[in-house]
Amino acid sequence: MTAVQRILGFESSCDETGVALVEVAGDAPPRLVAQALHSQISMHQAYGGVVPELASRDHVRRVLPLTREVLSQSGLALQDVDMIAYTQGPGLAGALLVGAGVAVSLAAALDVPALPIHHLEGHLLSPFLSADPPEFPFVALLVSGGHTQLMRVDAVGSYEMLGETIDDAAGEAFDKSAKLLGLPYPGGPHLARMAEFGNPEAYALPRPLLHSGKPDFSFAGLKTAVLTQVKKIGPDGGSGPCDQTKADLAASTQAAIVDVLVKKSLLALTETGLKRLVVAGGVGANARLREQLNSACAKRGIRVHYPELLLCTDNGAMIAMAAALRVQRGMVQPQRGGGFEVRPRWELGS
């Protein structure tokens, strides 16, 4: 009988504290046993964005209670854990130090190995926790508030960069445009909700690099165009209490971002000849993006895979899953002894 390994994962790279437990046995797909997540959105709303010092302090408050919650859900004790995984980077240095410090300290106390994981690899492999996991190889669209990248993925740890943003990430374009429209933090989801009531063709907003022939992105020019339109609309929205004009601008902004993401994803699929696309990261939860990708890929016989909606944001499950997949393939260099470092800037390809 194949021994079961239990991996406890910690995520604390930005404004979510995530803890999860994943089991792995032999070649069977790893199984999510329990997870707990705390979002700091309400705390940062007053500042219109993430305050790094506040984020770090909140991670300190949340990480151990969340760990107890995961263990309670699973019916297990800390002594039943065989390995501890944590996000080493990229992210906010102070926030990363909290998760890494707790993880490595627990590993030393339990005399089990600690395994540092790349935050983006966690996102990249998060669809393996879904009901419809992908198969290698595939093209991955990593799209979030801080990253917008297209990668060829041949196996766990085998990543080739195909294209990335040269300025703002797609999530930044959503959030900054939402802020210009007077929407609360985090702006992306609020803009998407407002867009449901607008006309996506009302404003002819730019699609930067859409016809460049390369799978790179640019969203800074779109933000400038939105600012220009907001100034024309004025503070009253231009159409009475329903703010229909702003809803139209929100819908047009979302359509511009989604059009670029879809076109570039199809270009990457054409260049590689692959027939499978994985979408990961917070923006991957956007309903219009999923709708447009599903439609475009279905016409071309391409399978599209997403994480479960709950796993689109930062979470501990994706870190534990990435560790489990590395364990299965013998690709681990676990740490012992209590020493560790974090890597706020860390290229996935490295």
User: Model pTM?
Assistant: 0.93
pLDDT, tens only, 172-205: 999 999 999 999 989 999 999 999 999 999 999 9
- Residue numbering of the annotated binding site: 119, 123, 142-146, 175, 188, 286, 314
Burial 209-231 (b: 16+ CB within 10 A, else e): beeeeebbbbbebbbebbeebbe
In the prediction, which pLDDT does 238 show?
47
The CA distances from residue 306 to 53, 240, 313, in Å, are 32, 39, 12
pLDDT tier, 240 (very low <50, low <70, confident <90, very high otherwise): very low
- Residue numbering of the annotated binding site for substrate: 142-146, 175, 188, 286
Which amino acid is it at 217? F
- Residue numbering of the annotated binding site for Fe cation: 119, 123, 314
pLDDT tier, 55 (very low <50, low <70, confident <90, very high otherwise): very high
| 286-313 mean pLDDT | 96
